[in-house]
Amino acid sequence: MNVLFAGGGTGGHLYPAVAMAGELRKLVPDAEISFAGTTTGIEATEVPRLGYRLHLIPVRGLKRGGSLADLIANIGVVADFVAALGRAVALIKRESPDVVVGTGGFVSAPLLLAAQLMGKKTLIQEQNAFPGVTTKLLAVLASEVHLSFEEARRFLVKKKQLFVSGNPARSFALQHAALARHQFSLYEDRPTLLVFGGSRGARSINNAVLHALNEITASANLIWQTGTLDFDRIKSQVKSSPYVWISPYIEDMGAAYGAADLVLCRAGASSLAELTNIGKPSVLVPYPYATDDHQRHNARALVAGSASMVIDDDCLEHQNSIKDILELLHDAVKLGRMGAASLNLAYPDAAHKLALRIISLAKKN
Tens digits of per-residue pLDDT, 240-293? Answer: 999 999 999 998 999 999 999 999 999 999 999 999 999 999 999 999 988 889
Per-residue pLDDT tens over the stretch 24-57: 999 999 999 999 988 888 899 999 999 999 999 8
How far is 157 from 153, CA to CA, in rounded Å?
8
Average pLDDT of the chain is: 91
Element (H, E) at 50: none
Nearest to 9 by CA among 42, 31, 44, 51: 42
How far is 302 from 315, CA to CA, in rounded Å?
19
Per-residue pLDDT tens over the stretch 319-334: 689 899 999 999 999 9
Name every residue whose Cβ is closer than 8 Å to that of residue 97 and which is 6 or more positions away in sequence.
Answer: 2, 3, 4, 34, 115, 120
Per-residue pLDDT tens over the stretch 153-211: 999 998 899 999 999 988 788 889 999 999 999 999 999 999 998 666 688 999 999 99
How far is 14 from 5, CA to CA, in rounded Å?
9
Q: Order across the sheet with 32-37: list the strands.
A: 53-56, 32-37, 2-7, 99-104, 121-126, 144-147, 162-164
